[in-house]
Structure 1
Amino acid sequence: MINAQDFLPEGVSNVNVSDDEMVRVNAAAVEATKSILRRRSPGVNIVRFLSAAFYLRDDVPISIGQAVGHIMETHMVEMAQFSVMTGKVGMDELEDDELVMYGREFMRFFDACQNAFRGLTSLDIENLRFSELDISNILITCKQLKHLRLNNCDSGDPSTLEVEHAHLSELSIVNCFLEQVKLIWLPQLTQMTFDGWINYQDPLVLGHVPLLETVSLSNIGYSFHNLVKLSEFLSTTSIRDLKLGFNSEKIWVQPECLTGSLASVFRQLRFVNLVNIPEGCDLTWTMFILEAAPLLKELYMTVWDHSCIMETDEMTRKAESYSENRGVEWDSASSHFQHHNLVTLIIFGFQSEDYMVSYLRRVVAAAVNLEDVFLYRMLECNHCQDDRPFRFPRTKRQRMSLKKRVTAGIESFAIIHARSVLRSDHLEKIIYPECSLDTSRRMLLSQQ
């Protein structure tokens, strides 16, 4: 694996790399790629995994692409990956003319290295503005593609992305200025991430996706947005793993009474992860997922007003119609409802507040075979400071008091764990598909 970032000086990261450093480390990546490929005798060895990550600068991508294309012509390559970086992090750093420039540079690279792209199995691209047919042409050429990640890629105006591919199994669309995504024919697709859409009327249209089982959906809900019905949003699927992200803003999901269509969507659901639910909001609405998913085994949720991803300026919030009422109400949960398969409930950002304790009582009463409840403090972000008082049961006495509040009058064998150290298996479950492994591992527990 060749990664241009490995040649950056100590203390320099993709966040603060300069243009001169990009040129230098790109050149080092070219030489490393050519050196490694020269050592292989044509037709002798199978290349199991070939990965190149580099910056979109000058003719370096073409040099790497042509070298990779050459080895694909002379060797059998099982997996080949390109990660094309721009050195820009976050949409706010980029002007429209930069997106256009990067898009043109990428297509120049693509046109010059058709042999390499025809053999690619994974492509990760960011900060590109394409013309209307560019992505379709890329998919047509990359016939072996299995993994595609688009981050902040668009066509200028809100547009529809139609996706057809025989082998694509993982698709990630993050912060792309798209009005609608149509998955027309993807017979091998198993995982999808869709983070940030602008149209709340059918933003995702699912065609032939018979194997789709892992779905991650995240968005900011504004005050003027209609709530999304998952029975319609995910119709024709039967997913096993579901992540819903709310960016610490308005809950954009419409709680639904149990219907045949909702039951069909959730009939195979085993794992749910609810991310960045705003603090202070009634959590009862999540019970509709339990009612509709009888096979659900694990429920994770993070309750967090994550300040560095939130818009905190009051004037901006008002001008852009952020919602001040971020919760959603639902009173349809049956008092006699029982769930027989949920064994684990995990809450990150737990506080000993009435609304959280009341929710815990409701889940513990309904989930008759619940085994473990793990309560964690707030996650800690390296990019923001939060010195708010935080009511977490730190002492043995506080934990015993919490347990009494939760289980009073309820017969349950569930063990309540209030922890300050994050278990590794729980960390693995909250590593989001749209985040890098390094980014996710930096999410620690607050020691407040």
Structure 2
Amino acid sequence: MKFNRGRRHRPNLKTEVGSGDMPSILPGNIQACNGDRLSELPVDVLLNILERVGTLDAVRTCILSKQMQMLPNMLSQIVIDLSPRDLFQKSHVVADVTNKILSRRCPHITIRMLKLKFVLSPSCCLSIGKSVGLAMTTQKFDAAEFQIMTPKDFHVSTDAHRVLFAKQFNTFVRDCPDAFAGLTRLHVQNMNFGESDIPNILSYCKRLESLSFFMCGAGSSSVLYLEHAQLVELVISYCRFKTVEVKSLPKLQRMTFGDWTCDENPLVLNFVPQLSKLSLANPNFSGKTLNLSKLLANAPTVNDLFLEFRSEKIWVQPECPKVLAPLLAKLRFVNLDHLREECDISWTMFLLEAAPSVEDLCITVWDHKCRRKSHESYSKKTDVKWKPSGPDFKHKNLARLTIYGFQSDDNFTGYVRRVIQAAVNIRKVSLHDRKVCELCSEKFPHAEARPSGYPRTSEEMDLSRKKMAAASATTCPDIHFCS
């Protein structure tokens, strides 16, 4: 369960509801009492409790007494977020409850949050869309979210299924324009669109602030053009487009782009004047690399950069600091995730050399087997070639270095020593052992794991500290071993 505090007097708690049992969040004395005793509580207290347990459970609870039956119509938060298994079994329930609550609401009570997860079935979608659309025109919404599942899971869907789902979704949007006009968040998955479909859909979603595509596409030779006046967050994962071209997103602040299918210009950023956080992830089976200088040519505002390599080949090309410096001038946080274990991590220094404002650098080295798609691609990896900086290089702003997967060998100790020498104001170095994934162990029970070289005893830790601080010209920072 996650808390999202809205009004000070009524905390907002999302909870997934999938059973008829009363959630344990209710105090024991309230759970034990009868309906009349519960209904004696003040309305504000009852609404506070009901918004904590989720909308379907709130409706079930209010059946306890006649005095409580009107409370669901007074909720300022309506969240129906079933698990996928329950959702497929109870899709009609989502439509029915949504319609009853929205049609009977008190119009003067603002809906702070409407979040609906539902299956893309024509009858249920139309019912939900019409109910939400009517409410949009008569009531005030602070935020509204649709998370749309397809009748078949993406693991078993064919291209023909995905084309059909996209057509059904397009029809849904056209039939319920008022609902989509008020949406602030939209999540779609498992659909193959025509090239003009997504721009048309966005033209309906005037208030949209967050957009997420998962396992979608328009063909491997297609270009996805994105243009929207209000979009703040964009997530594109495991989608099939030749290129995603962000033409104009003037309010975009956060973007996640993962597992692109084409190595040549997979992402083009044009007008993104407020982009501050950029997350990119790809396994790079082809071995081709991207130049950050080209990718970020129109995005010099990025201050938080997350690059993930899926325990495969490095897909970013180390570049001359002088070329990158104008584009990375505002970069403060760098996270390099899932670097393969045999990779020499010294290549990552090029980011420090090109980004003088970086304060926090986090590196995770981990052969995460269950995320790899083939052993063949993994076995053909090569080290990154780069030209190291001279011994006089200094970095004045780096304060924290964190490494997951640290081993007591020259690759790591030499790297930490080099960073300490360059970062004259570094205060803390946190070194962790390899991360553990239970799924990796279950999926590859006979795979040989490299022996861990992480220091365990105080003597081993002291020896590693001496190696890392041996040639430091400044005061050594605190070096913590966080096993």
**TM-score bracket for the superposition, by shorter chain length:** 0.7 to 0.9
User: 1:307 corresponds to which residue?
Assistant: 369
Match of 2:90 among 4, 22, 25: 25
Match of 1:166 among 217, 224, 229: 229
Q: CA deviation at 1:335?
A: 1.4
Q: Does 1:65 align with 2:137?
A: no
Q: Distance in 1 between matches of 2:438 and 2:82?
A: 14
User: 1:358 corresponds to which residue?
Assistant: 414
* SS of 2:392 mapped into structure 1: coil
* SS of 2:215 mapped into structure 1: strand
Q: CA deviation at 1:393?
A: 1.5
User: 1:284 corresponds to which residue?
Assistant: 346
Percent pairwise identity: 39
| Residue type at the aligned position of 1:128 | M
Q: Would you say the 8 A contact 1:163–1:186 is kept in 2?
A: yes
Q: Would you say the 8 A contact 2:469–2:476 is kept in 1?
A: no
* SS of 1:77 mapped into structure 2: coil
User: 2:185 corresponds to which residue?
Assistant: 122
Q: Distance in 1 between matches of 2:121 and 2:87?
A: 7
Q: CA deviation at 1:27?
A: 2.1
Q: CA deviation at 1:182?
A: 1.2
1:271–1:3 Cα change, 3 Å: closer
| Residue type at the aligned position of 1:72 | M
Q: How does 1:67-146 map to 2 (within 5 A)?
A: 67-86=131-150, 92-146=155-209
Q: Distance in 2 between matches of 1:394 and 1:95?
A: 50
Structure 1 residues 22-66: Cα deviation after superposition (integer angstroms, max 9, x where no partner) = 443222222332343244223x12222211112223522222222
TM-score (norm 2): 0.79
| Residue type at the aligned position of 1:136 | P
Larger Rg: 2
Deviates more, 1:216-225 or 1:33-42: 33-42
Q: Distance in 2 between matches of 1:137 and 1:391?
A: 55
1:223–1:187 Cα change, 3 Å: closer
* SS of 1:406 mapped into structure 2: helix
Q: Would you say the 8 A contact 1:243–1:272 is kept in 2?
A: yes
Deviates more, 1:337-346 or 1:124-133: 124-133
Count of residues in correspondence between the two structures: 405
User: 1:398 corresponds to which residue?
Assistant: 460
Q: CA deviation at 1:16?
A: 9.6
Match of 2:402 among 322, 340, 346: 346
Match of 1:6 among 13, 17, 22: 17
TM-score (norm 1): 0.84
1:199–1:299 Cα change, 3 Å: same
Q: Distance in 1 between matches of 2:470 and 2:348?
A: 22
Q: How does 1:392-431 map to 2 (within 5 A)?
A: 392-410=454-472, 411-420=474-483
Q: Distance in 2 between matches of 1:94 and 1:213?
A: 35
| Residue type at the aligned position of 2:475 | S
Q: Distance in 2 between matches of 1:193 and 1:222?
A: 20
| Residue type at the aligned position of 1:59 | S
RMSD: 2.4
Q: CA deviation at 1:205?
A: 1.7
Q: Would you say the 8 A contact 1:160–1:178 is kept in 2?
A: yes
Unaligned runs of 5+ in 2: 1-11, 22-80
Q: CA deviation at 1:199?
A: 2.6
Q: Does 1:368 align with 2:439?
A: no
Deviates more, 1:103-112 or 1:304-313: 103-112
1:3–1:101 Cα change, 3 Å: farther
Unaligned runs of 5+ in 1: 421-448
1:352–1:81 Cα change, 3 Å: same
| Residue type at the aligned position of 2:146 | F
Q: Distance in 2 between matches of 1:204 and 1:117?
A: 27
1:184–1:39 Cα change, 3 Å: same
Q: Would you say the 8 A contact 2:147–2:187 is kept in 1?
A: yes
1:15–1:49 Cα change, 3 Å: closer
1:16–1:69 Cα change, 3 Å: closer
| Residue type at the aligned position of 1:6 | V
Q: CA deviation at 1:413?
A: 2.8
* SS of 2:251 mapped into structure 1: coil
Q: Distance in 2 between matches of 1:9 and 1:377?
A: 42
Q: Would you say the 8 A contact 1:217–1:244 is kept in 2?
A: yes
Q: CA deviation at 1:380?
A: 2.3
User: 1:434 corresponds to which residue?
Assistant: none
Structure 1 residues 227-259: Cα deviation after superposition (integer angstroms, max 9, x where no partner) = 211011111212100011111111011111122
User: 1:250 corresponds to which residue?
Assistant: 313
Q: How does 1:328-343 map to 2 (within 5 A)?
A: 328-343=384-399
Q: Does 1:155 align with 2:211?
A: no
Q: Would you say the 8 A contact 1:4–1:26 is kept in 2?
A: no
* SS of 1:275 mapped into structure 2: strand
| Residue type at the aligned position of 1:67 | S
Q: Distance in 2 between matches of 1:196 and 1:23?
A: 28
* SS of 1:123 mapped into structure 2: strand
Q: Distance in 2 between matches of 1:179 and 1:270?
A: 31
Q: Would you say the 8 A contact 2:212–2:236 is kept in 1?
A: yes
Q: CA deviation at 1:372?
A: 0.6
Q: Distance in 2 between matches of 1:147 and 1:251?
A: 29
